[in-house]
Amino acid sequence: MESSNLNGIPLYNSRIIDSYIRLIKQKYTDVNVGELLNFAGMKGYEVADEAHWFTQEQVNRFYEKLVQVTGNHNIAREAGRYAASPDAIGAMRQFVLGLMGASNAFEIINKTTANFTRSSRYESRKISSNKVEITVTPIIEGVEQPFQCANRIGFFEAMVLIFNLKISDVKHYPHIEHTECLFKGGKVCRYVVTWERSLAVTLKRSSVMVILLLALFNLVLLLMGNWTVLETSLFGSLFMVMLLALGIEMVEKKELQVSLSNTRDANDNLLHQININYNNALMTNEIGQALGRYSSTVEILAHVTKIMEKRLDYSRGMILMANREGTRLVMTTCYGYDEAQRSYLRKWSFHTDRPASKAVFVRAFREQRPFFINDLNDVEEDVSPRNLVFARKLGTQSFICCPIMCEDNSIGVIAVDNIKTKRPVVESDVSLLMGIASMIGISIRNSELIEARVKVFKSVLLVLAASIDARDSLTAGHSEKVTEYSIAICKEVGLSPDYCEVIRVAALLHDYGKIGVPDNILKKEGKLTPEEFEVIKNHAAKTSEILAKIDFEGIYCETPEIAGGHHEKMDGSGYPRGLKGMDIPVGARIIAVADYFESITSKRHYREPMPTHEAFTLLRQESGTHLDEKFVEALITYYTRTYLDNTAPPEDAI
């Protein structure tokens, strides 16, 4: 692989550059960090994001410009050392502060450095308790530069300083021998790191020598028989040994406290990250459940927004959806905004059909990629004045926006921002939001497919119902009116939406069995003969029989029984099964009332329509024997409220 191609591979974690930036801000305050990052092709939010990686070319340009503006050719090593300063947070300290000493840290250096660089492999060999050999082997040859070797030396120095900095203000730099170097003809970079032993270890070794010398001195006194001096010497020796032991214990406790403090800090950081991951997992799970529970786009977006407000670590969020033509983005739902801001958002739309538009939402929609900005001031030149006014009106300073995709097409944008905290936007947040956006896109597509199937289902039902009603011009629209009255009764008595839907389908198809009734009987103007009436009566059973052949599932499984039972009567004198009272399905009792009322108030071949007030009287007369009284009163209540002008009796009837 050529070097030019290798320069485009992300190899170095942002935390390395972050150490440089922190050093610059502390020691080189005149350096313009924005210009430095811009020259290197880096963004401030990328440096702040611990999940981001930079290429060798970016790192080279960064170092080249940094040396130029600071005039310090040793700044790479200085930046490596800076990782151990109290002002340097994150970076290497999170990995090694929880360990019990430099020796342990160097033992796992291959694991810790893998979190910072992908260009080299680190291996350690322990020589003694305070001496190790580090071998750095390039994974990709010909990429690294000499300044990175110097940065490594500073890095190793920092690993030792981390454990000494809080014990004393004096910086005890380790001694590092660079015995082999890649940039001086070697195959690897080899370092031998030696550092001062801890004070506790030094005191322990010294105490052993002191005890041996005291023992030898007292032994000589014993052999000489100088009892007076021996007595004083033994007392003094015992006092000295106790003093040494006490001193060693105090130093050990102090060093242990430092280690425990470091461990506690590392554990707190780890626990915080675990809590974030757990919360994100809960959010993803809750969104998945919500998306599986709701089938309409409006419901999906409303519930996703509620879950985002509850779980996502952002104080505000909104979802913008494209109109049917895909030319505008309009705010559909949001959280965290006050009423004035909501009203302002509703008035705005973003035109996706304008090629010159610089709106970030439009770019995310068109380019199908996320955008995240930590400081709006950094991108003023790239945003239109109109959109700057929009952002500042809402108090937005940093935000993330991601496209909502559906089968490779953008259908909307999801955006979040923080105004309550100064937490920077990081790439891991973008990944999480992109995951949510993809789930929304898939669910909206599924809801569209479901809605399309429902529309087809409903249209087929209407065609089936109309095909029966159309056989006779006088009965055209009968099924629709029966359905209207049936649904109205359901709502009056408070039945569930699901059961209302079952009754709607059953009401539309309640007369489908008439497809087998000859026209000469169906359209007969005079009174039916007993034989003809038996043929007519058979349509109820025929309805149930035909509908039973349709694969009604879920809530619709009762449809054949309900549709076929609309001629059953409360006293058991109905047909086709002669069911009585509560044995008749609720839906069948409701449709029976609606069908009876629609029939007597409509014109038929053998009679004129009955006036409404007379129809109400007849309905009440049939209550208890033919019809269910509760549903009769529900229909009368609905009809009176909805068609009030038609319920008053004519003046000559009063």
Identify whether residues 48 and 186 lie together within a single domain.
Answer: yes
Which two structure tokens, joined as six digits, stand for 349?
Answer: 């739309």
Identify whether residues 176 and 55 lie together within a single domain.
Answer: yes
Least confident of 1-15, 330-344, 385-399, 453-467: 1-15
Average pLDDT over residues 537-563: 88
Instruction: Read off the pLDDT of residues 72-103 as tens digits, 9 standing for 90 and up.
Output: 999 999 998 887 665 554 444 545 554 456 77
Identify whether residues 214 and 243 lie together within a single domain.
Answer: yes
Q: Taking 50 as the threshold, does the pLDDT of residue 650 lie above it?
A: no
Q: Quick check: is 285 in a domain?
A: no
Q: Quick check: is 455 in a domain?
A: no
pLDDT of residue 391: 80
Query: Which CATH number goes with the domain that contains 419?
Result: 3.30.450.40
In terms of Cα–Cα distance, which of 424, 423, 416, 414 is closest to 374? 424
Instruction: Read off the pLDDT of residues 316-333 as tens digits, 9 standing for 90 and up.
Output: 999 999 988 889 999 999
Identify whether residues 181 and 209 lie together within a single domain.
Answer: no
pLDDT of residue 100: 53
pLDDT of residue 653: 35
* Winning range, highest mean pLDDT, from 197-211, 408-422, 455-469: 408-422
pLDDT of residue 380: 63
Query: Which CATH number goes with the domain that contains 72?
Result: 3.90.1520.10
**Number of domain units in the chain:** 4
Identify whether residues 249 and 119 lie together within a single domain.
Answer: no
Identify whether residues 63 and 159 lie together within a single domain.
Answer: yes
Local confidence band at 438 (pLDDT 50, 70, 90 cut-offs)? confident
pLDDT of residue 51: 78
Instruction: Read off the pLDDT of residues 567-610 as tens digits, 9 standing for 90 and up.
Output: 999 999 999 999 999 999 999 999 999 999 998 998 876 678 89
Mean pLDDT of the chain: 82
pLDDT of residue 372: 77
Q: What residues are paired with 373 via a beta bridge? A: 399
Local confidence band at 263 (pLDDT 50, 70, 90 cut-offs)? low
* Better-predicted residue by pLDDT, 384 or 56: 56
Local confidence band at 550 (pLDDT 50, 70, 90 cut-offs)? confident
Cα–Cα distance for residue pair 424/374, rounded to 1 Å:
6
Identify whether residues 354 and 374 lie together within a single domain.
Answer: yes
pLDDT of residue 606: 67
Average pLDDT over residues 101-114: 82
Q: Taking 90 as the threshold, does the pLDDT of residue 375 lie above it?
A: no
Q: Quick check: is 38 in a domain?
A: yes
Q: Taking 70 as the threshold, does the pLDDT of residue 311 lie above it?
A: yes
pLDDT of residue 381: 63
Q: Taking 70 as the threshold, does the pLDDT of residue 521 lie above it?
A: yes
* Better-predicted residue by pLDDT, 335 or 647: 335
pLDDT of residue 159: 80
Q: Taking 60 as the threshold, does the pLDDT of residue 648 lie above it?
A: no
Average pLDDT over residues 239-260: 75
Identify whether residues 192 and 204 lie together within a single domain.
Answer: no
Q: Quick check: is 301 in a domain?
A: no
Q: Quick check: is 463 in a domain?
A: no
Q: Taking 70 as the threshold, does the pLDDT of residue 338 lie above it?
A: yes
Q: Quick check: is 595 in a domain?
A: yes
In terms of Cα–Cα distance, which of 640, 596, 601, 636 is closest to 616? 636
Average pLDDT over residues 124-148: 90
Identify whether residues 86 and 192 lie together within a single domain.
Answer: yes
**Of the candidates 258, 276, 294, which is a domain's last residue?**
276
Cα–Cα distance for residue pair 239/214, rounded to 1 Å:
11
Residues 6+ apart with CB under 8 A from 365: 322, 329, 350, 352, 403, 410, 412, 413
Identify whether residues 474 and 433 lie together within a single domain.
Answer: no
| Helix 75-82 / helix 146-161 crossing angle, nearest 10 deg | 30
pLDDT of residue 3: 47
Range of the domain at 629: 470-653
Identify whether residues 629 and 522 lie together within a single domain.
Answer: yes
Q: Quick check: is 516 in a domain?
A: yes
pLDDT of residue 273: 64
Cα–Cα distance for residue pair 460/385, rounded to 1 Å:
52
Asked if 560 contacts 552 with a C-beta cutoff of 8 angstroms, the reply is yes
Q: Taking 60 as the threshold, does the pLDDT of residue 278 lie above it?
A: yes
**Of the candidates 179, 196, 213, which is a domain's last residue?**
196
Q: Quick check: is 233 in a domain?
A: yes
Identify whether residues 627 and 512 lie together within a single domain.
Answer: yes
Cα–Cα distance for residue pair 372/533, rounded to 1 Å:
75
Query: Which CATH number goes with the domain that contains 589?
Result: 1.10.3210.10
φ, ψ of residue 452 in degrees (nearest 5): -65, -40
Q: Taking 80 as the threshold, does the pLDDT of residue 174 lie above it?
A: yes
